């Protein structure tokens, strides 16, 4: 009897809780931690070097921050398969958590001289703290580029001219199925007559603007990588001379009396990403070897008496030219062995944040440009189906490489840096395209990049790494 009475009273209590809208369960409140608690957990992991066991096996603080930015971008952006705005919750998460991680460089300072006037009128020179110059210049620039990428996607919120073919749409299966190396991506679907003229010009203008964003982030990333120290473990793994690193055929092509970069690439096997990356690794290793020998000025090196110091310097410059052209033609290749080694053993927290943040922006700009290219390719096929079927669609790397090679304007291309003169026909076309597109650009999404100026020249170590960061070796 007592048990039955208790059960009835408990049922009545539950019903009153269910009817009372103002009563919330204490368990539900605990399941939603505040932003302060989330920030504490994130920074606790960073302080422990991603080793929550407390065993002291964590990575360095620089690598932990680099991995944190990379993992955050992977969880928020993922693999962008469609050209569409970001969901509001993921956008809010990115802005909030990247602000936490970017608050670390605010406390990386350096001493600078400053004049101070005392109350008696005496002028003294004292040392004051100021945010490190490279962080002070590049962090705001990268934040601006990051905001511009999000704004460009937000500008597509109201568009209804193109969509994507669903996997369940059997009527479009044979018509729009992909036959290129991007078969795993959804196929864009445009109206039968193609996109409207304003939308087409707007997309082309966005693609051109994103190319500038991509190159600005790439310049910052390349500069940071060039300033990182080369780890001793990488140097120890190098062969004794550049010939052993390059191989006889590549070494002979670089050391010939008359060197033609275009002819050099015709003799190389560039059929796969693995072979391109292997060529880049070999040339970077030879450049490091040659530079170390030139700095040491060892007259009894394995080069022999017949090779003078001037010729050695010429060969090293030729290798740098090849690396620059590789960067120009294949911007999407993964990070080289040298770059991965630098990131893994880097101990500078500021450089780690700059490198990872700029790499994330590079990868996103590259992906958005590729998705815009897919829509424009579908539009071209709709306008002229016969040409669209015969012509093979460009891959992501080929399309961005072509866009970079035809670029002309405020940003300097790699060919401009080397002093070579590109054709002027593409320049006039690109200039006319910009003038036409500005008439149709939506005022709420002006994705025009700012002028990003770095204080040093490009280095041969320019690299566009994909959205990943190396793990530490123990």
Condensed to tens digits (0 to 9), the pLDDT of residues 229-241 reads: 999 999 999 988 8
Cα torsion through 101, 106, 109, 112, rounded to 10: 150
Mean pLDDT of 145-149: 94
Q: What's the pLDDT score for residue 65?
A: 93
Q: What's the pLDDT score for residue 257?
A: 83
Separation CA 413–CA 395 (nearest Å): 21
Whether the predicted pLDDT of 53 surpasses 80 = no
Q: What's the pLDDT score for residue 426?
A: 46
Mean pLDDT of 24-38: 65
Whether the predicted pLDDT of 1 surpasses 70 = no
Among the listed ranges 78-92, 425-439, 455-469, which one has the minimum average pLDDT value?
455-469
Separation CA 415–CA 418 (nearest Å): 5
Mean pLDDT of 183-212: 89
Rounded percentage of the chain residues whose pLDDT exceeds 90: 29
Condensed to tens digits (0 to 9), the pLDDT of residues 63-94 reads: 999 999 999 999 998 888 888 899 999 999 99
Q: What's the pLDDT score for residue 12?
A: 53
Condensed to tens digits (0 to 9), the pLDDT of residues 306-347 reads: 456 677 788 888 888 898 888 878 877 888 999 999 999 999
Among the listed ranges 186-190, 324-328, 423-427, which one has the minimum average pLDDT value?
423-427
Query: CB under 8 Å, gap of 24 or more: what pairs does 181-189 form?
Result: 181/395, 182/370, 182/374, 182/393, 182/395, 182/396, 185/81, 185/374, 186/81, 186/82, 187/378, 188/83, 188/162, 188/163, 188/164, 188/374, 188/375, 188/377, 188/378, 189/162, 189/163, 189/164, 189/165, 189/378
DSSP string, 333-360: ----HHHHHHHHH---HHHHHHHHHHHH
Q: What's the pLDDT score for residue 354?
A: 95
Separation CA 282–CA 296 (nearest Å): 21
Q: Cα–Cα distances in Å, from 9 out to 1, 5, 6, 13, 26?
A: 13, 6, 5, 6, 21
Mean pLDDT of 371-399: 69
Condensed to tens digits (0 to 9), the pLDDT of residues 149-163 reads: 999 999 888 888 888
β-bridge partners, 45: none
Higher pLDDT, 445 or 399: 399
Among the listed ranges 200-209, 274-283, 288-297, which one has the minimum average pLDDT value?
288-297
Cα torsion through 49, 50, 52, 58, rounded to 10: -50
Whether the predicted pLDDT of 205 surpasses 70 = yes
Q: What's the pLDDT score for residue 49?
A: 82
Q: What's the pLDDT score for residue 72?
A: 93
Mean pLDDT of 271-296: 87
Whether the predicted pLDDT of 410 surpasses 60 = no
Q: What's the pLDDT score for residue 272?
A: 87
The mean pLDDT of the chain is: 75
Mean pLDDT of 448-474: 41
DSSP string, 17-62: HHH-TT---HHHHHTS--HHHHHHHHHHHHHTTT-TT-SS----HH
Confidence label for 221 from pLDDT (cuts 50, 70 and 90): very high
Whether the predicted pLDDT of 3 surpasses 70 = no
Whether the predicted pLDDT of 444 surpasses 70 = no
Separation CA 83–CA 186 (nearest Å): 10
Rounded percentage of the chain residues whose pLDDT exceeds 70: 68
Separation CA 216–CA 462 (nearest Å): 12
Whether the predicted pLDDT of 25 surpasses 60 = no
Map residue 378 onto helix, strand or coil: helix
Higher pLDDT, 52 or 23: 52
End-to-end CA distance of the chain: 67
- Both structure tokens of 446: 């002006």
Q: What's the pLDDT score for residue 137?
A: 93
Separation CA 213–CA 333 (nearest Å): 18
Q: What's the pLDDT score for residue 451?
A: 47
Q: What's the pLDDT score for residue 280?
A: 92
Condensed to tens digits (0 to 9), the pLDDT of residues 104-124 reads: 999 999 999 998 888 888 888
Higher pLDDT, 91 or 291: 91
Q: Which residue has the tokens 């109206």?
A: 191
- Both structure tokens of 422: 């590109």
Whether the predicted pLDDT of 299 surpasses 80 = no
Mean pLDDT of 222-248: 90
């Amino acid at each position: 009897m007592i048990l039955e009475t208790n059960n009835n009273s408990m049922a009545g209590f539950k019903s009153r809780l269910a009817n009372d809208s103002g009563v919330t369960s204490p368990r539900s409140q605990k399941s939603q931690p505040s932003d302060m608690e989330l920030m504490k957990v994130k920074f606790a992991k960073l302080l422990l070097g991603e080793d929550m066991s407390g065993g002291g096996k964590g990575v360095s603080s620089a690598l932990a921050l680099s991995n944190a930015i990379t993992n955050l971008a992977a969880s928020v952006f993922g693999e962008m398969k469609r050209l569409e705005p970001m969901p509001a919750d993921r956008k809010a998460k990115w802005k909030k958590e990247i602000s936490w991680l970017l608050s670390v460089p605010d406390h990386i300072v350096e001493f600078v001289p400053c004049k101070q006037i005392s109350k008696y009128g005496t002028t003294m020179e004292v040392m004051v703290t100021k945010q490190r110059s490279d962080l002070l210049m590049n962090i705001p620039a990268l934040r601006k580029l990051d905001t511009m990428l999000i704004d460009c996607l937000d500008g597509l919120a109201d568009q209804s001219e193109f969509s994507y073919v669903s996997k369940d749409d059997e009527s479009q299966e044979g018509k729009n199925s992909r036959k290129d190396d991007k078969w795993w991506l959804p196929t864009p679907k445009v109206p039968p007559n193609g996109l409207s003229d304003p939308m087409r010009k707007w997309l082309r203008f966005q693609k051109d603007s994103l190319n500038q964003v991509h190159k600005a982030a790439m310049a910052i990333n390349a500069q940071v990588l060039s300033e990182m120290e080369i780890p001793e473990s990488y140097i120890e793994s190098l062969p004794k001379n550049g010939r052993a690193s390059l191989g006889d055929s590549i070494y002979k092509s670089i050391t010939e009396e008359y060197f033609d970069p275009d002819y050099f690439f015709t003799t190389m096997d560039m059929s796969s990403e693995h072979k391109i990356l292997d060529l880049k690794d070999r040339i970077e290793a030879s450049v490091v070897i040659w530079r170390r020998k030139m700095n040491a000025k060892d007259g009894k090196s394995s080069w022999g008496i017949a090779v003078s110091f001037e010729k050695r310097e010429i060969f090293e410059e030729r290798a740098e030219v090849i690396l620059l052209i590789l960067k120009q033609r294949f911007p999407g290749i993964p990070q080289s062995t040298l770059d991965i080694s630098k990131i893994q053993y880097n101990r500078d927290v500021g450089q780690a944040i700059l490198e990872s943040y700029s790499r994330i922006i590079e990868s996103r700009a590259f992906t958005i440009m590729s998705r815009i290219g897919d829509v424009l390719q579908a539009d071209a096929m709709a306008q002229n189906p016969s040409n669209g079927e015969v012509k093979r669609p460009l891959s992501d790397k080929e399309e961005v490489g072509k866009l970079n090679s035809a670029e002309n304007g405020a940003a300097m291309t790699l060919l401009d840096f080397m002093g070579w003169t590109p054709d002027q026909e593409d320049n006039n076309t690109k200039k006319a395209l910009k003038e036409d597109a500005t008439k149709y650009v939506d005022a709420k999404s002006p994705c025009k990049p700012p002028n990003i100026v770095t204080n040093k020249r490009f280095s041969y170590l320019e690299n566009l790494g994909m959205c990943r960061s190396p793990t530490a070796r123990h």
